Structure 1
Amino acid sequence: MQRLLVFVFFSLMAATAVRAQLSISGGSTAVQESIGRAVTLTCTYSLSAGYTLREIKWYRVNGERDPVLFYYPGQSAYTYGLYRNRASLVNTDDSAQVASLRLSNLQFSDNGTYECLVGALNGQPAEESVQIDLVALVAPNDPVITDEYNNGNLTMTCTAYTGNPAANLTWTRDGSRVYHDVAENITSWRGYLDAQSIISVTASTAQSSTFQCVAQHPAFTAAQRASVTVGSPTVSTVNINPSPVPGEALQELDDIILTCMTQEGIVPQPTYQWTLDGGNVPASAQAYRNELKIFSAQVEDSGIYSCTARNDFGSDSGDATILIAERDTNIVEPQTGSPVGSVVGGVVAALAFLVLVAIVAFAWWRSKERGDYHTAEQSPEEPTAVVSTEPEDEKDEEKLNLMEEKKEEEPEVKVETQGEGHAEVAKKPDPDQTA
């Protein structure tokens, strides 16, 4: 029995020594950072004397281990896939015993669990690993409140769309906490999360209350709020776009938009009704929520437009007067010396010059084609050869007659010989001497 106890003791000591040869730890089991920024996943290790670093490997764990970065001492770190040119080790000095990973330009797709693995060697290989959760923060949109009212029962829904993680939503009524009836996170487009919270309250026409939905999120520098007030709507003014100059009329054929301005965040949501001089609005007008659009306004569309906002708690009205005049078709000429006139004049002059150059070039080209245009270097044209149409026999006979006539006119030339080897040629008598 004593021998068995001694064996167990030394076995435990040996196992403890093996584990102590390499130890690894992560700086935090969960790290959060906003997308677009750089994040560091801290991982450190410790080696016993005689052990050397063999490798540092980073994986993303998503059911399977997808490689992110591999490093072997004395070599460059190699990155994989979407992590190329974005992943790097914070320190590659073996003596520092740091295996931390740095990711630049954090993406929503980087969201997940990462594993840091360190391998050592001293005759026998040893390795240890640790896992770190990375949350890529995506700030959701500001919260919005929608309502549904039915016989005194008011149901309001607050939603903060497309965040990661989902926003935390809380309610207050006149400054006091109200607990939700339903709260859930809904996976939306591309894996983002919509936070949604619903409350149901009894609304009384005798009491006005203000409800506030507060959204908190790690990516928010401050909490975002949306507020609604239960009560009767109040019309502050009716805006006209385009806004007319005081004392002047709008032009016909303009598109005019009237907006009924009420207190923001009134619930139940009011409905809106429009009239023109107490009757129907023009047939070309279209109403949508608190807006009335008049397309291609006519002179007869002039008048007083009234807007009435109404819900179960009450109503209120406002109006605006519109005067529409016939469109001025006169074209206003730019003043002499004005910048616009100068620019237009310069453009017209340039166009006229180009047209003149084109006309001269065309005339020169036409003259050259017809042969009317000669330069000083050109030689005069040779006379055109006359081609006879007479038959060849008639031509030959005419030539013979001419030769006979010429022969008769010329005097005969006699050659007299004077001895052997000498000859004297009689010259043609000079007509003057003969005479």
Structure 2
Amino acid sequence: MGRPGSLLVQIAASIVLWKVCSAEREVAITLPEEAVATLGDGVTLQAAFDTSFRLISVTWSKLHGNVTSQKRTSVLSYVPDLNINRAYGSYKERARLLGMASLRIDPTTTEDEGTYALSIMTDERGTVEKFIHLSLQVAPRVVVGPRNPYVTVVGESVSLACKVTDAKPNITSLYWEKDGARLEASSFLGKYSGGDARTPSLTIRHVMRMDAGVYTCVAQNSVRSGEGHIGLRVHYYASITSISEPVEVTVGDHVTFRCVAEGSPTPNITWSRNGLKLKASTDEAVGDVRTSALVLNSVELTDTGAYSCTARNGIGGPRTRNTHVDVIALDGGFTSTTVAIISGAAAGGLWLLICLCLLVYLLRKRRGGGDRKKFTYYYSDVQRRSNVATSEGGGSEHRRQVFLTERKSSNVAFEQCRQENGELVI
């Protein structure tokens, strides 16, 4: 037969165990053991309870360690009698109670991963707890380099680095894209090598202009994919893609030469003639292409010759192409200036000739008037002498002599007028 003290201990233990079991039966909590979420996304720890006793509080806390740890961080408390529903600390703006007892955390942070305790307190049975562990998965974080953009020169080989960090769980695949199209890395001697989960960095051999673009390293795990972007710029030497054809113009015309150059960096264009630089009239650049224009106004014969367009961008040496202009004189070998002088001289000569003719006409007209006066004088003088002879009675012979003299003077006067004016003026 056992001792009475030992029996009492067994009875007390049985009572305590009965009370605990009775409390658990009367406060039933439904809570899974595990929950999984993606870092940065929201998560809900689904929970519910059932009790016939009056509810005093619902409390969520995060344990520092496993379920035996006594150190906890308060997350949220709900006390219906006091109208308290409050989140604490770093959860203040992120945690809230959903339904009867579910905990919503949005968004999640790295510190949210761990074990959480749900405590239900009633007036008759005290506090009942259950635990849940929250695991956070992390999408891959991709870092590319060595710098962005990556600048190289035609003909070189480059290596684009890709580093994956924080992936949880580990990545399942890795590949590269160029301008959105997936690249297939070939053998060691191919255009591309690497660029996979084993060798994340991508090597591009013998870079060409067409290799320029945006490259993307894509890493995937069970959560989602992560991406890193890097731009590749390929510099190439300048080249002159077009220049105006040689032209033949006449003196006084206007000539426009155009030169188009391409390169990366965008080239600069200069014009020259016989080694002397000329100032361009216009100069514009669009992307890797630059266009320059040289305008020659009112060309002269001395403008005949070759004109050079030179493009430079620091990659390789300068590139030069020439064009030519031939300036010819107007018909007859006269320039416009000469023609103007000749025209002016001709007009002046014509005007002078007109003036001379007018002067001669006036002089001749004046001279004709003088002859008429002279004829009148001769006629009057003969008549006067005839009258004198008659009055003196000189006889018939004398009158005959006077008549002959008068006739002779009249003939002289008449002949002079006829010869000078072509007609007889009386």
- Tell me the TM-score range normalised by the shorter chain: 0.3 to 0.5
TM-score by length of 1: 0.36
TM-score by length of 2: 0.37
Q: Which structure would you say has the larger Rg? A: 2
